[in-house]
Structure 1
Amino acid sequence: MRRPVALRLCAATATMALAAATGVVLSTPEASAATGGVTGYATQNGGTTGGAGGQTVRATTGTAIHAALCGRASSSTPITIQVEGTINHGNTGKVSGGSCSTAAGVIELKQISNVTIVGVGSGAVFDQLGIHIRDASNIVIQNVTVRNVKKSGSPTSNGGDAIGMESNVRNVWVDHVTLEASGGESEGYDGLFDMKDNTQYVTLSYSILRNSGRGGLVGSSESDLSNGFITYHHNLYENIDSRAPLLRGGTAHIYNNHYVSLNESGINSRAGARAKVDNNYFEDSKDVLGTFYTDAAGYWQVSGNIFDNVTWSSPGSENKPAGPDPQSNTTVNIPYPYGLDAAGCVPGVVSQTAGANKGLRVSDGNCSPQTPAPTPTSTPTGPTPSPTATTPSPTATPGPTQPSGTNLSIGAGSDGSGKADGTSYGNVRDGDLSTYWSPTGSTGSISIKWGSPTAVSKVNIREASGSVGSIGSWRLVNADTGAVLTSGSGAGVITFARTSLQKLTFEITGSTGTPRIAEYETYAG
């Protein structure tokens, strides 16, 4: 293979003491987790929201991550943990508490629920340190890098898996992550993304898996058939020997992935597994689909894939490649909506969107990485907003206080009336104050949009450095109905009557220069 290179919260004082001791910052920084953009099987079984609606904290060490989990009122209290910096063995200790079960040398998401871990700022790197999800549900991991996790040699972590899930895990969304090793099992590494012992309803999206002997598996053995309902889409698998992924039983939906240099085998469907394989691009690889290393057959439904310089082995008793002319041998029904990019544009789309620190960019299903992909829609469970909910409220004056809670814009979509050269609609929802959107002139509009109705009552418009004060008059519009929610002048925090909508437009009607909006944050309350 080519190888480049203890505590329950009883009082506020207890919380503050724990924070001070471990480096947890109890605040709402400039970026938050995406919850509106979940796709695939993670949308099923009640959906996956992670820590949405809970407290947001910042952590710069592994111990601080554990402390944030242990500092919750209960093991199911929602929390978003924003991570920045390098997390390693030296700064990851065990923390005890009634709402957690942690261990040193591994990030433990064990016997808990309703948690988001998201990389922010200059990035989050878990160096030689794996993330272990066990007996847990409703977990989001986003915008982080996990590298060089070993099961042998020194140091070891998480059984050698970058991200590993086992024992009654439900509803996990892993998105925009980079998972990488520096070799195979002989060098001490195991899988990059493993699921076993009754793990279900998982989505891996817009991620990079590379330089490893094993990409990942579903099911630890031919008898571990309790896993399934996994979606893999818009991921890059590069320089992987095998298991891209290995499926033992269960159902998987695999679409719009780019596979480069699969050295021994790729999608290995066996032991009755069923895989729907749509519009992927396989390049410079061997045996990219089939049943391998077993006589326990698996199945697949194929359509729209491109096989570019793919070689195929001859079939044998334990080697049944699907090619050289892959044909479907089963039918898989997908219960959620999704948009398919044409296979021919998958390499370009994936190169611009997949991995950590890509601004959480996604595809719109039409080969365009600048526009966020449509998210699954659902029938609202709450009452339909009354007409008065969209009646314009009195002019609001932006306030100076940073809103609390989860910034709903991160991971949502965005568009606008136009954009100046070098700017992007997506820059207003990437959590980065150094990037921004400008209109093509002195006026224009920028919108945040969601795939399903989302309740919002507060907006924070943050201007880029050097342009503070340039925004003059503005209107905030419910783009679903065209109703003006409020109007005013200047940037800052804007409050208005709580409204459920799918698209919220900030319309600049006057300015003193060229407006530059770094962040268009939205909050439920």
Structure 2
Amino acid sequence: MKRLPAALATAAVGAATVAALPMTGAAAATGGVTGYATQNGGTTGGAGGTTVKATTGTAIHQALCGRASSSTPITIQVEGTITVGNTAKVSGTSCTTAAGVIEIKEVSNVTIVGVGAGAVFDQIGIHLRGSANIIVQNVTVRNVKKSGSPTSNGGDAIGMESNVHNVWIDHNTLYASGGEDEGYDSLIDMKAGTTYVTVSYNTLRNSGRGGLVGSSDSDLANGPVTFHHNLYENIDSRTPLLRGATAHIYNNYYVNLNESGINPRAGGKARVDNNYFKNSKDVLGTFYTDLPGSWQVSGNIFDNVTWSAPSDENNPAGPDPRSNTSISIPYAYQLDAAGCVPQIVTATAGAGTGLQVSNGSCSVTPPPATTPPTTTPPPTTTPPSGGNLSIGAGADGSSKASGTSYGNVIDGSTGTSWSPAGSTGDISVKWGAATTISRVVIKESAAGRIGAWHLLNADTGAVLSSGTGAGTITFAATSLKKITFRITSASATPTVAEFETYAS
């Protein structure tokens, strides 16, 4: 495969020859889980369950095996580097695991999420088999091999097979250091009955194969799958390969696809909307087979893209891509204009980007309101030590109900409160100079109303923590001028009496 630097150049599009297809409209944007993973009952992962932390692969397996049942919801926060060497088989009534691979097998209702800048899975793959309602978010998986040493997961960074459904692969970085000759296989593979998957805001880089949906021309019962706002860089082929599957592919940024790109075949169908293809070859079509696939295209930009001549086993869609099928999309979504896709995707895709997303209008926003809580254990009610730094600070918010005030959360009195104008909203504490915070206490006047929330560094939009319910929230010490408590769900109108902040 072609060798490129690992980092993608993010310069603005220059004067290269650009071809664009007409843009079509779309329904309103949705937040949190998007695409086909919202169908078939939806995808919530471990939301509503317990939260545990893991610093080894063995600890991940122990968390799965320690549940009351194989379907008990759980969020596993992963820190540090996971390797083949620290991943042992663990046995239990609620799990089936194996050494040398992260095994999400015959289980459901699980979230695996990297903490902060994200965990690293070094030469070890994540394997989903016979599982449902799974979220993998904010992790880096690198250099997983099928030959050489060590080997893991058949050489796939993330592999799904054998009746897997409702999976969300989001904000991850997946890369190899070469192709099949160097011992690697794919970055994301789906086969043997994998359905209702969304792959969003990921970086896939430096691999011979991006991924497939369907492992052979007889493995045709997979999909549908949504791919959106992903960065594919220096990939030889399969971005993705679709055998008999339907995929909605929109707002992705493709750079240096060396041999071929989106490859529907054997009845596979791709709806390809508002993507940006740059410095690439044969980015769409049916390749390496005489079993045709089809595509619907709209709004894409082809920047320095070359096309092969048609042959018995190659049917490129270009140089003037036209639709040859029609694909109906059952969920709501909103398209960024293709021209801003390079900027949006490079700002949001991959681990360690704060789970930021596009607002569908070529701007970046913090994590959407319906993202499942994924980054902190349930808060406790033990107050921290030290002085409350909110006293004497300022406060503002997104809205306030009649009779309430932003300032009521920093006055040191639980007899006053703030409520949003609706059931959700933001309340913030702010200072004139940078202040180091590592703990927050949220006190309610009417207990038990606050549901899910995010705690944000309002200076940068980064998520400091997420969870459910009021109480004490701890996180890595952070210097900031403004901190925001964002309530994203509630059982009734929330009433926040105090928003206390502490250095330790």
TM-score (norm 2): 0.75
Q: 1:175 is matched by which residue type in structure 2?
A: D
Residue 289 of structure 2: aligned partner: 294
Residue 422 of structure 2: aligned partner: 480
Residue 239 of structure 1: aligned partner: 234
Residue 450 of structure 2 contacts residue 489 of structure 2 at CA under 8 Å; is this kept in 1? no
1:480 Cα deviation from its structure 2 partner: 2.5
1:446-496, Cα deviation, whole Å (9 max, x unpaired): 589xxxxxxxxxxxx9xxxxxxx97767743233279999xxxx9612233
1:162-185, Cα deviation, whole Å (9 max, x unpaired): 000000001000100000000000
Whole-angstrom CA distance in 2 between matches of 1:475 and 1:170: 44
Residue 498 of structure 2: aligned partner: none
| Alpha carbons of structure 1 residues 362 and 150: separation in structure 2 relative to 1, 3 Å | same
Q: 2:258 is matched by which residue type in structure 1?
A: N
1:517 Cα deviation from its structure 2 partner: 1.5
Whole-angstrom CA distance in 1 between matches of 2:236 and 2:141: 19
For residue 40 of structure 1, the aligned residue among 35, 52, 60 is: 35
1:209 Cα deviation from its structure 2 partner: 0.3
Whole-angstrom CA distance in 2 between matches of 1:65 and 1:133: 14
Residue 479 of structure 1 contacts residue 505 of structure 1 at CA under 8 Å; is this kept in 2? no
1:492 aligns with 2:444: no
For residue 174 of structure 1, the aligned residue among 125, 144, 169 is: 169
Residue 446 of structure 1 contacts residue 505 of structure 1 at CA under 8 Å; is this kept in 2? no
User: 1:152-301 alignment to 2 at 5 Å?
Assistant: 152-301=147-296
| Alpha carbons of structure 1 residues 399 and 359: separation in structure 2 relative to 1, 3 Å | closer
TM-score (norm 1): 0.72
Residue 8 of structure 2: aligned partner: none
Residue 3 of structure 2: aligned partner: 3
Whole-angstrom CA distance in 2 between matches of 1:400 and 1:127: 37
Residue 387 of structure 1: aligned partner: none
Q: 1:107 is matched by which residue type in structure 2?
A: I
| Alpha carbons of structure 1 residues 524 and 479: separation in structure 2 relative to 1, 3 Å | closer
1:82 aligns with 2:77: yes
Whole-angstrom CA distance in 2 between matches of 1:65 and 1:505: 25
1:204 Cα deviation from its structure 2 partner: 0.4
User: 1:327-346 alignment to 2 at 5 Å?
Assistant: 327-346=322-341
1:445 aligns with 2:394: no
Whole-angstrom CA distance in 2 between matches of 1:107 and 1:503: 29
1:90 Cα deviation from its structure 2 partner: 1.2
Residue 367 of structure 1: aligned partner: 362
1:123 Cα deviation from its structure 2 partner: 2.5
Q: 1:180 is matched by which residue type in structure 2?
A: Y
Whole-angstrom CA distance in 2 between matches of 1:132 and 1:371: 29
Q: 2:2 is matched by which residue type in structure 1?
A: R
Q: 1:401 is matched by which residue type in structure 2?
A: T
Whole-angstrom CA distance in 1 between matches of 2:81 and 2:425: 46
Whole-angstrom CA distance in 2 between matches of 1:153 and 1:482: 52
Residue 349 of structure 1: aligned partner: 344
1:101 aligns with 2:50: no
| Alpha carbons of structure 1 residues 268 and 66: separation in structure 2 relative to 1, 3 Å | same
**SS of equivalent residue, structure 2 residue 418:** strand
For residue 516 of structure 1, the aligned residue among 477, 482, 490 is: 482
Contiguous gaps of at least 5 residues in structure 2: 6-29, 372-378, 385-389, 401-405, 428-438, 457-479, 492-504
Whole-angstrom CA distance in 2 between matches of 1:505 and 1:116: 19
| Alpha carbons of structure 1 residues 237 and 491: separation in structure 2 relative to 1, 3 Å | closer
1:443 Cα deviation from its structure 2 partner: 3.5
Whole-angstrom CA distance in 1 between matches of 2:423 and 2:117: 38
Whole-angstrom CA distance in 2 between matches of 1:190 and 1:482: 45
Whole-angstrom CA distance in 2 between matches of 1:267 and 1:339: 21
Q: 2:420 is matched by which residue type in structure 1?
A: N
Whole-angstrom CA distance in 2 between matches of 1:361 and 1:190: 29
Whole-angstrom CA distance in 2 between matches of 1:503 and 1:58: 19
1:401 aligns with 2:353: no
1:8-35, Cα deviation, whole Å (9 max, x unpaired): xxxxxxxxxxxxxxxxxxxxxxxxxxx9
Residue 480 of structure 1 contacts residue 501 of structure 1 at CA under 8 Å; is this kept in 2? no
Residue 247 of structure 1 contacts residue 269 of structure 1 at CA under 8 Å; is this kept in 2? yes
Residue 389 of structure 1: aligned partner: none
1:385-421, Cα deviation, whole Å (9 max, x unpaired): xxxxxxxxxxxxx984389xxxxxxxxxxxxxxxxxx
**SS of equivalent residue, structure 2 residue 236:** strand
Count of aligned pairs: 409
1:210-240, Cα deviation, whole Å (9 max, x unpaired): 0000000000000000101100000000000
Residue 145 of structure 2 contacts residue 152 of structure 2 at CA under 8 Å; is this kept in 1? yes
Whole-angstrom CA distance in 1 between matches of 2:368 and 2:360: 6
1:516 Cα deviation from its structure 2 partner: 2.9
**SS of equivalent residue, structure 1 residue 69:** helix
Whole-angstrom CA distance in 1 between matches of 2:66 and 2:97: 12
| Alpha carbons of structure 1 residues 202 and 107: separation in structure 2 relative to 1, 3 Å | same
1:303 Cα deviation from its structure 2 partner: 0.2
Residue 476 of structure 1 contacts residue 505 of structure 1 at CA under 8 Å; is this kept in 2? no
For residue 59 of structure 1, the aligned residue among 45, 50, 54 is: 54
Whole-angstrom CA distance in 2 between matches of 1:36 and 1:131: 26
Q: 1:2 is matched by which residue type in structure 2?
A: K
Q: Kindly report the root-mean-square deviation, in angstroms, between the aligned alpha carbons of the 2 structures.
A: 3.3
Whole-angstrom CA distance in 1 between matches of 2:326 and 2:381: 56
Q: 2:442 is matched by which residue type in structure 1?
A: V
Residue 476 of structure 1 contacts residue 484 of structure 1 at CA under 8 Å; is this kept in 2? no
Residue 93 of structure 1 contacts residue 105 of structure 1 at CA under 8 Å; is this kept in 2? yes
1:442 Cα deviation from its structure 2 partner: 3.2
**SS of equivalent residue, structure 2 residue 308:** coil
Whole-angstrom CA distance in 1 between matches of 2:125 and 2:269: 29
| Alpha carbons of structure 1 residues 194 and 143: separation in structure 2 relative to 1, 3 Å | same
**SS of equivalent residue, structure 1 residue 277:** strand
**SS of equivalent residue, structure 1 residue 301:** strand
Residue 159 of structure 1 contacts residue 190 of structure 1 at CA under 8 Å; is this kept in 2? yes
1:445 Cα deviation from its structure 2 partner: 1.0
Q: 2:252 is matched by which residue type in structure 1?
A: N
1:122 Cα deviation from its structure 2 partner: 4.5
| Alpha carbons of structure 1 residues 46 and 323: separation in structure 2 relative to 1, 3 Å | same
| Alpha carbons of structure 1 residues 288 and 373: separation in structure 2 relative to 1, 3 Å | farther
Residue 478 of structure 1 contacts residue 501 of structure 1 at CA under 8 Å; is this kept in 2? no
Whole-angstrom CA distance in 1 between matches of 2:99 and 2:214: 26
1:250 Cα deviation from its structure 2 partner: 1.6
Residue 365 of structure 1 contacts residue 373 of structure 1 at CA under 8 Å; is this kept in 2? no
Residue 370 of structure 2 contacts residue 488 of structure 2 at CA under 8 Å; is this kept in 1? no
Residue 20 of structure 1: aligned partner: none
| Alpha carbons of structure 1 residues 144 and 519: separation in structure 2 relative to 1, 3 Å | farther
Residue 305 of structure 1: aligned partner: 300
Residue 45 of structure 2 contacts residue 75 of structure 2 at CA under 8 Å; is this kept in 1? yes
Whole-angstrom CA distance in 1 between matches of 2:425 and 2:127: 46
